[in-house]
Chain A
Amino acid sequence: MASQTKADILAQHETNAALKTPAPGQITRHAKDLGADGMLSPLDERIIAAASEALEAGQTHYVDVPGIAPLREAIAEYLNTSFSAPCQSSNIIVTAGLQESRFLTIQKIGETFDSIGIPDVVHPGVQKALGVRTRNVVSIAVDADRGYLPTLGAIADAVAGGCQLIYLESPSRLSGAAYTSDEVDAIGQLLGESGATVIWDQGLAPWVDGGCRSLASTEDAPAQVTTIGEAFPGMGLASWFIGYIAAPENQIPAMQSQKQIMAICTSTAAQYAALEASSLFPTAHPPRLARLRSAKSDATESAQELNLNVIAGDALNVIALRTSNDSAAKLRAAGFDCADGGDFGASEVIRLNINTTTADALQALR
């Protein structure tokens, strides 16, 4: 006899569109996959040595829920130096990657607010996290001409309408466009005036030439801004899944307790690897950025020669294009994969990662 209970569960599931939102792959699938969020990069031997030494020395047991102390310190130090974000290790929770950071912040900080403001164009992982347990969502209009970032006016309107928690990305996960320092100051000022809280995804910020201003560096941030991101991107840890949350101290206990409930802790191998990566990152990252800089400018140039509509973006690891409907199909026919802007809420956009094959992919769009 078929189970009615199961049928009810499945029917409820069918109507949960948010949970079903399609999303780019987490990591690169094959050499011509330019659509993944996490790009694979070589893994430094010193990271392999550090992680395996830790495991060989018996670091194979449960560790503290918010992360091993030295890694929390290293992440706090990194956020202080790279983002001028005043924080200490007690503000840090190590996560099993960016989606866990999204989930914990959206659900647990979200729990303390009536609604959450979400940009109309945002990484689909946000919709997924919201789909797990429904929250009251206030939509925030974006400006297609500013790389699909929400306008300051739209953010202010949401806050004026009573929405006291806003989710923002800078750079945009779709276009790579980042708020300018002045815009960040203006958002910071709005927080100061309204008392609103922001979850700020700055995961693409390390890919911006010369750095990218974090909302956590503004005056009222320490009490009102939680930042999330991948830990030390570009160091070959994309498939290890390791991320962070940096939150005001009063928001840590609820998220830490939820992390205990859903994970107990983060894999020790990944944590010791990230710890080693933290010390290599300051010297390993700049040359990588330099290579991306020239690759992105080449890609942009060839796109313009091909009359493709390039969306201006600051992050050097991605290029977004405004295209016709069949672009993704054209790319696929040539063996390439791209991220589909439709998954983010902008169906006219595709996003390509920057690497040595990006130029060939652009040719396929001719």
Chain B
Amino acid sequence: MSKKKAQGTNLLYQLIGEARNYDDVIIMGRGDPDFDTPAHIVAAAKNAMINHHADYSPPEGLLALREAIAERVKRVNNIDVDPATEVVVANGGQEALFLMVLAVLSPGDEMIVPEPNYNTYADSLAFAGGVKVEVQTYAENDFRADPADVAAAITDKSRALLLVSPNNPAASVISPPDMQAMLDIAISKDLMILADDIYDLFVYDDFEHVSPASLPGGKERALTLNALSKAYSMTGWRLGWIVGPADLMARVKELKAAISGGASIISQHAGIAALTGPQDAVEMMAEAYRRRRRLVLDALDAMGMKYGLPQGGQFVFADIGFTGMDSGEVAQRILTEQHVLAYPGSAFSKDRKDYLRMTFLQPEEQLIEGLERMKVAMRDMMAER
């Protein structure tokens, strides 16, 4: 069967479509945890349907939820916020992301973006009429964004610096000294910071996550997003938030009202239960990702693949340059021949045709099976060369 050569996101959608045709497919692509939402959170949602569906919520979210968020960002991220004025609830991290970009960037403004990065930032920036200025990072340095490169990318149109740590897809974590250096640059060049902490509970080995807003001078120039999606396996609930200084948050709040109004009351009550209830399920899931990460890295080592060490997050971004093939082609062959879906790097950036992104978001036995099948596909591809 001859296939039209799709690229980027189109290719991704084509692969996802093809994957649906295979009963035995193993999906190692999508950033959706395999765990279902913990039962006590589902129970809280049901209770909300019975007892709280008539609760009034302003566009920025229920105060009780904003208080729980303020408590969480203080405890986990050491960011001090006033729940009354400095927290806005959003329909997932995705809407939070879109709101952050719109709140800060206007047509012609530049945002400095370490690459590779989560591609919705580029899409949101395009909507806002902003300009992406890329700072490249590489597998051999574990995708470290070098503050010196960031400083060198600044122009008189620079308005914001994007810091996604841990990063998707690169899985790098910005070290505390680098984060301090990034903030120093932002302060000296008067840039706003957009911080995405969505993977902050997934940090491995001795790496350490720090939120720029927790550092002196950080909060007044940073908007920080997070969501329940990844940490609590709540991707389907669409619940996230932004915290930041009251003056900028007033703008975020008005944008939220203009884009979608409030978040669903049921999801909000589920969110309160998630943040204030028992946290053992979160710990159990984080522990599972730690084990799975080891499995994946061992398998990649056995395949001779290079990768940036996943310091955090739920992915590994592996260099398949040694195959001499484009990642789209490799992903296509792994899918068609072995029914394993990994995302081609070209879906994240046109400059990342040599990479594949794999997730740790499937049960261990599936992950092992998927990696075995990948090994076979890679061996076959190499044998043809």
Contacts and interface: CB of A to CB of B under 8 A. Distances in A.
Interface in B218-237: 220-221, 233-237
Contacts, number: 190
A89 interface: no
A19 interface: yes
A55 B106 CA distance: 39
A291 interface: no
State the main secondary structure of chain B at its contact with A. Answer: helix
Interface string A18-50: 011001011111100000000010010001100
B250 to A, nearest CB: 8
B266 A262 contact: no
B124 A239 contact: no
A12 to B, nearest CB: 6
A63 B45 CA distance: 18
A265 interface: yes
Given A25-B56, A103-B260, A268-B236, A52 B190 contact: no
A353 to B, nearest CB: 14
A267 B236 contact: yes
B36 A239 contact: no
Contacts of B59: 26
Contacts of A268: 236-237
A55 B124 contact: no
A266 B254 CA distance: 21
Contacts of B233: 60-61
Given A52-B45, A269-B45, A263 B91 contact: yes
A52 B49 contact: yes
Interface string B21-43: 00000000010110011010010
Nearest to B36: A58
Contact of B258 (A51, A62, A128, A273): A128
B236 A62 contact: yes
Interface string B224-266: 0000000001111110000000011011001101111111111
A212 B39 CA distance: 44
B84 to A, nearest CB: 17
Contacts of B250: 13
A132 B261 contact: no
A60 B238 contact: no
Interface stretch (A2-10, A143-151, A300-308): A2-10
Interface string B49-60: 110011111010
A264 B92 contact: yes
B98 interface: yes
Contact of B54 (A13, A40, A273): A40
A51 B49 contact: yes
Contacts of A273: 49, 266
Given A59-B236, A60-B36, A60-B236, A9 B258 contact: no
A239 B238 contact: no
B266 A5 contact: no
Chain A interface extent, by class = 35 or more
A240 interface: yes
Nearest to A23: B257
B52 to A, nearest CB: 9
Given A99-B260, A99-B261, A266 B238 contact: yes
Nearest to B50: A48
Nearest to A51: B49
Given A30-B56, A132-B102, A48 B49 contact: yes
Contacts of B54: 28, 40, 239
B171 interface: no
B94 to A, nearest CB: 5
Contacts of A239: 53-57, 262, 264-265
Contacts of A19: 254-255, 258
A207 interface: no
A96 B192 CA distance: 29
Contacts of A59: 236
A3 B219 CA distance: 12
Contacts of B191: 5
A258 B91 CA distance: 14
Contacts of B95: 262-263
Contacts of A55: 37, 42, 45-46
A3 B220 contact: yes
A26 to B, nearest CB: 5
Contacts of B270: 269
- Scoring A10, A26, A56, A264 by chain B CB atoms within 10 A of each residue's CB, the highest score goes to A264
Interface string B186-201: 0100111000000000
A59 B92 CA distance: 16
Given A263-B238, A269-B264, A133 B42 contact: no
Contacts of B70: none
B153 to A, nearest CB: 16
A139 to B, nearest CB: 20
A130 B247 CA distance: 22
B112 to A, nearest CB: 13
28 contacts: A6-B220, A6-B247, A9-B106, A9-B159, A25-B56, A43-B49, A52-B46, A59-B236, A60-B234, A61-B36, A61-B233, A62-B32, A62-B235, A99-B261, A100-B260, A103-B259, A128-B254, A128-B258, A129-B259, A133-B129, A236-B53, A261-B120, A263-B238, A267-B91, A267-B236, A268-B236, A269-B237, A273-B49
Given A9-B106, A26-B261, A60-B42, 8 more contacts: A5-B190, A29-B56, A51-B45, A103-B259, A239-B57, A239-B265, A268-B237, A273-B49
Closest CB pairs A-B (n = 9): A128-B258, A60-B37, A268-B236, A239-B265, A99-B261, A52-B46, A100-B260, A58-B36, A262-B98
Interface of A: 1, 3-6, 9-10, 12-13, 19-20, 23, 25-30, 40, 43, 47-48, 51-52, 55-56, 58-63, 95-100, 103, 125, 128-129, 131-133, 236, 239-242, 258, 261-270, 273
